[in-house]
């Protein structure tokens, strides 16, 4: 649901708690950082402000909650970044409509875009990017206890639902040419077909499927089958933070903070807060 939204400016405060190491059987937490790598913490003594620009209509990444406050994964990620850089008192978030983001950064109204900006060749001409902090794998969903394995041989002749004319459809046809791809125009209709047994599996965006699996409409019918498929050539590079191309010190600072967040377990707590059914 999209809303007509006004801009709002929030001071970023408070660090996130650490999450204990996951026990066997706990959800899979994606990792984008090498624990053996050592990044140098940059000196940000001369930095007057780090203002993140985000949106308010991109749940669960950023949205207005029931109390009227800006909330979401990106909001808490910004807090965690500022805490790791020890600049919480100079850190802010400004929420603006998506079509105002580029101008706001160009006009100096903010220093970093934290809003799901695509990392592609066109945007790389305008922005420098941090390392990715999240990606969106493709996943299979099938009925509990009634789904085939997801090897190429096991899926031969199986009917698999996929959204028509999507990257996932191209990926399915290339990876599993011996399966029968059934195209759907509607995401909910595709998953309903899995639920009723009209098709054997559905293949698509793991994050979106994870939310459906938690909804009452799913009725505990279904679950992820097999593992995640990470394919940048089909699905893109994931999410990263964009900064002006002439601010390389900011990408260095963001990479350091994201690495610390990942290796200290902070990212795991944040991920499970907003994605309780892991899509990895």
What is the CATH code of the structural domain delimited by 8-135+238-274?
3.40.190.10
**pLDDT grade for 16, boundaries at 50, 70 and 90:** very low
User: Domain spans of the chain?
Assistant: 8-135+238-274, 138-235
Average pLDDT, the chain: 89
State the pLDDT at residue 25. Answer: 54
Architecture (CATH level 2) of domain 138-235: 3-Layer(aba) Sandwich (3.40)
> Which residues 6+ apart lie within 8 Å of 116 measured at CB?
55, 58, 61, 239
CA 183/CA 166 separation, integer angstroms: 10
pTM of the model: 0.87
pLDDT above 80: residue 75 = yes
Quick: pLDDT tens for 234-264.
Answer: 999 899 999 999 998 999 999 999 999 999 9
State the pLDDT at residue 13. Answer: 39
Q: Can you tell me the mean pLDDT for 128-156?
A: 94
Share of the chain above pLDDT 70, in %: 91
Q: Report H helices in the chain.
A: 73-85, 101-106, 121-124, 167-175, 187-196, 206-214, 232-235, 248-263, 266-274
Q: What's the order of all strands across the beta sheet hosting 159-163?
A: 180-184, 159-163, 201-205, 138-143, 222-229
Q: Can you tell me the mean pLDDT for 166-184?
A: 97
């Amino acid at each position: 649901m999209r809303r007509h939204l006004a801009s709002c400016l929030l001071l970023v405060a408070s660090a996130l708690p650490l999450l204990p190491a996951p026990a066997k059987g706990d959800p899979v937490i994606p990792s984008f950082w090498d624990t053996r790598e050592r990044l140098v913490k940059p000196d940000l003594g001369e930095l007057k402000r780090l203002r993140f620009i985000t949106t308010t209509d991109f749940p669960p990444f950023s949205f207005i909650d029931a109390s009227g406050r800006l909330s979401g994964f990106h909001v808490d990620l910004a807090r965690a970044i500022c805490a790791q850089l020890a600049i919480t008192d100079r850190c802010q978030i400004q929420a603006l409509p998506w079509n105002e983001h580029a101008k706001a950064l160009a006009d100096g109204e903010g220093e970093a875009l934290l809003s799901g900006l695509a990392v592609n060749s066109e945007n790389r001409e305008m922005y420098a990017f941090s390392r990715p902090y999240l990606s969106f794998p493709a996943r299979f969903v099938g009925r509990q206890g009634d789904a085939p394995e997801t090897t190429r041989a096991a899926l031969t002749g199986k009917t698999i639902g996929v959204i028509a004319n999507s990257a996932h459809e191209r990926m399915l046809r290339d990876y599993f040419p011996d399966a029968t791809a059934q195209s759907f125009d509607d995401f909910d209709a595709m998953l309903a077909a899995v639920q009723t047994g009209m098709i054997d599996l559905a293949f698509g965006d793991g994050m979106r499927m994870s939310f459906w699996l938690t909804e009452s409409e799913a009725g505990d019918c279904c679950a992820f089958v097999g593992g995640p498929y990470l394919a940048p050539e089909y699905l893109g590079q994931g999410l990263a933070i964009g900064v002006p191309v002439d601010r390389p010190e900011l990408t260095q600072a963001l990479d350091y903070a994201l690495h610390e967040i990942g290796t200290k377990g902070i990212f795991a707590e944040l991920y499970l807060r907003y994605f309780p059914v892991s899509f990895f």
